[in-house]
Amino acid sequence: MKNIKQIGFSIALMALFTACGGGGGGGSDAEPTITTTNMEINTSYIIQEGGVVTKTSDDATIDMETSFDTNETTVTLKSGTATCTQCSLEQN
């Protein structure tokens, strides 16, 4: 049952991240640097503000954890393939 809840939570978060779009104008003329990383299985990444995780295969499963102490969200690819925009490797 716990596994089903975790899968449901992960799917809901992924839908939330992929549904976020930008439409705002204004700001500076400088274009922000956006990096996209091909995620590796069992490697943890910290999502930066504005970051997005995108499944690139139907069988991709991703664990997500948010620390309430640091307010950091960590994602780990468990199977399949995915990309992470605005992510950095977690330092152990």
- pLDDT mean across residues, the chain: 80
> pLDDT tens-digit profile of 33-70?
778 999 999 999 999 888 999 999 999 999 999 999 98
Q: What is the pLDDT of residue 90?
A: 78
Q: What is the pLDDT of residue 82?
A: 96
Mean pLDDT for the stretch of residues 64-89:
93
| Per-residue 3-state assignment (H helix, E strand, C coil) for the chain | CHHHHHHHHHHHHHHHHHHCCCCCCCCCCCCCCCCEEECCECCEEEEEEEEEEEECCCCCEEEEEECCCCCCEEEEEEECCEEEEEEEECCC
Q: What is the pLDDT of residue 89?
A: 86
Domain ranges for the chain: 2-19+34-89
